[in-house]
C-alpha cells in the first residue's frame, strides 16, 4: 500500500512542473485534471451548484494569480489547488455568515457527528494536507509526531522505543510542530 501511495505521489510530482499556471493553457490543463473533483468538493461543502461553480472559478483565478508561488517541491498541484479551494470555501462561508450545523449532544457516534457538521470533506482534506506536510519535515521529527500525536502513544513508551531520553522526544515534538507549521504555511493552509 505504501509503495502505491509513493508511486502516486511521484506521478503527481512529475506532472506538476509541466503545468505553468501563469499561462492560459496551464490553467486549462490544471482545470481539466482537477476541476471536476474541486467542484464536487465545493458542492458538498456549499450545497449549491452555482456557488460551487463560483468557488471553483475563484480557486483557479487565485491559482493563476499566485502561479509563480506554486512549488511542486512543497506540494503536488492537486494538494495546492485543494488548499486554495479550502480557503475560498471558508471565505465564502464567512461572507455568507454561515456556521456549521450544531450537533445534538445525544449523538456520540463520530461518523454521524462529522456528517452532521459537514466535516467529512474537511477531515479528508486536512488529512491529505497533513500527510503532505509530514513528508516535508525531518524523519526524526516526523516519527515523534506520528507516534505521539497521531497514534496517541505515551512519551515514555515512544522514547524507549526510539532509544532516546523523554526530554529529547519532547524537543523533537516541539521543533517538529514548528517545522510542520512552517510547511503548512508555505502550502497556503490558513486557519
Distance of CA 78 to the CA centre of its chain: 10
- Highest average pLDDT, of 73-77, 110-114, 127-131, comes from 73-77
Q: What does the pLDDT read at residue 41? A: 87
Query: Do 51 and 42 contact (CB within 8 A), yes or no?
Result: yes
Residue 105 to residues 108, 113, 119, 178: CA-CA distances in angstroms? Answer: 7, 10, 17, 35
pTM score:
0.48
CB atoms inside a 10 Å sphere around CB 10: 11
Amino acid at each position: 500500500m505504501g509503495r502505491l501511495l509513493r508511486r502516486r505521489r511521484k506521478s503527481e510530482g512529475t506532472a506538476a512542473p509541466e503545468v505553468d499556471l501563469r499561462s492560459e493553457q496551464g490553467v486549462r490543463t490544471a482545470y481539466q485534471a482537477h476541476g471536476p473533483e474541486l467542484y464536487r468538493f465545493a458542492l458538498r461543502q456549499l450545497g449549491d451548484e452555482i456557488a460551487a461553480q463560483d468557488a471553483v472559478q475563484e480557486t483557479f483565478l487565485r491559482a493563476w494569480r499566485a502561479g509563480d508561488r506554486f512549488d511542486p517541491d512543497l506540494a503536488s498541484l492537486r494538494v495546492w489547488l485543494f488548499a486554495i479551494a479550502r480557503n475560498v470555501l471558508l471565505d465564502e462561508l464567512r461572507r455568507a455568515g454561515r456556521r456549521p450545523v450544531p450537533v445534538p449532544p445525544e449523538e456520540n457516534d463520530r461518523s454521524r457527528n462529522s456528517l452532521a457538521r459537514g466535516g467529512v470533506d474537511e477531515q479528508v482534506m486536512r488529512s491529505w494536507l497533513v500527510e503532505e506536510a509530514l513528508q516535508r519535515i525531518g524523519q526524526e521529527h516526523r516519527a515523534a509526531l506520528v507516534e505521539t500525536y497521531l497514534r496517541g502513544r505515551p512519551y515514555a513508551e515512544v522514547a524507549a522505543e526510539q532509544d532516546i531520553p523523554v526530554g529529547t522526544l519532547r524537543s523533537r515534538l516541539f521543533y517538529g510542530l514548528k517545522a510542520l507549521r512552517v510547511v503548512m504555511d508555505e502550502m497556503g493552509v490558513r486557519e
